[in-house]
Amino acid sequence: MRANAVLGGLLLVLGLTVPVTAQTSDVALAVHEDDAAGRAMGGPSMQGGRGFGGWQQRAGPGQMRRGRSFVGMVLRHRQELGLSQQQVDSLRKVGMDSRRAAIRRTADTQLAQLDLMELRLSDPVDMGKVEAKVREIERMRADGRIAAIRTTEQAKAQLTADQKEKLKGLWAARWQRMRQGSGGMEAPAEADEEQ
């Protein structure tokens, strides 16, 4: 029984550390984008009464793209946008469903990373199996990015044309503040896709 607990703890530690140490910053960004679609929906602020996205206030300027979701931004500005209760409920559901799927994808990706590590530890390494596992991991990441874009589009579909225009104004003001506050930081290309 104790051996199972120790083995489980070791697997958990390896599952959390190996993928992080094996990724470059570009790959890490892609992983964070995978689950960005509904990230604000699962934050601790839901129970704290501060609204959605409260934990994100700790994020620095470099984490803006990774730490904020389109759904979370829309919900944070629900009063300015004039969202109905039905729209709020629908957006929350979209965000929660997206977050659940992102958590599953993250867990599956970590398990696949662990499998890849195991394949690489064998001697000799079966390159066919390694290549297949790497392709599987990258497919999972691509699926996550596509899911994030789909979630954004589902959220946009909940808004009226007037609300979309107001949101574009809020988005532009946000990037203007960021440029002024961080010495001319330009908005990423993805900003257009999120409007």
How far is residue 113's CA from residue 53's CA, in Å, rounded to a whole number?
Answer: 29
- For residue 189, being part of any structural domain is answered with no
Spatial contact of 64 and 41, defined as CB atoms under 8 Å apart: no
pLDDT value of residue 65? 42
pLDDT value of residue 23? 44
- For residue 191, being part of any structural domain is answered with no
pLDDT value of residue 152? 94
- For residue 169, being part of any structural domain is answered with no
pLDDT value of residue 81? 92
CA dist 83 → 35, 38, 59, 161 (Å): 25, 18, 26, 12
Give the tokens for residue 178.
Answer: 């960021």
- For residue 23, being part of any structural domain is answered with yes
- For residue 64, being part of any structural domain is answered with yes
pTM: 0.56
pLDDT value of residue 90? 94
How far is residue 79's CA from residue 99's CA, in Å, rounded to a whole number?
Answer: 23
Residue 14: which domain range? 2-160
How far is residue 172's CA from residue 93's CA, in Å, rounded to a whole number?
Answer: 26
- For residue 194, being part of any structural domain is answered with no
- For residue 182, being part of any structural domain is answered with no
pLDDT value of residue 185? 42
pLDDT value of residue 174? 80
Radius of gyration of the chain (CA): 19
pLDDT value of residue 31? 36
Average pLDDT, 10 consecutive residues per value, the chain (195 residues): 62 55 39 37 37 39 53 92 94 95 96 96 94 97 95 94 91 84 50 40
CA dist 106 → 15, 62, 111, 113, 127 (Å): 11, 22, 9, 10, 24
- For residue 147, being part of any structural domain is answered with yes
- How many domains is the chain partitioned into structurally? 1
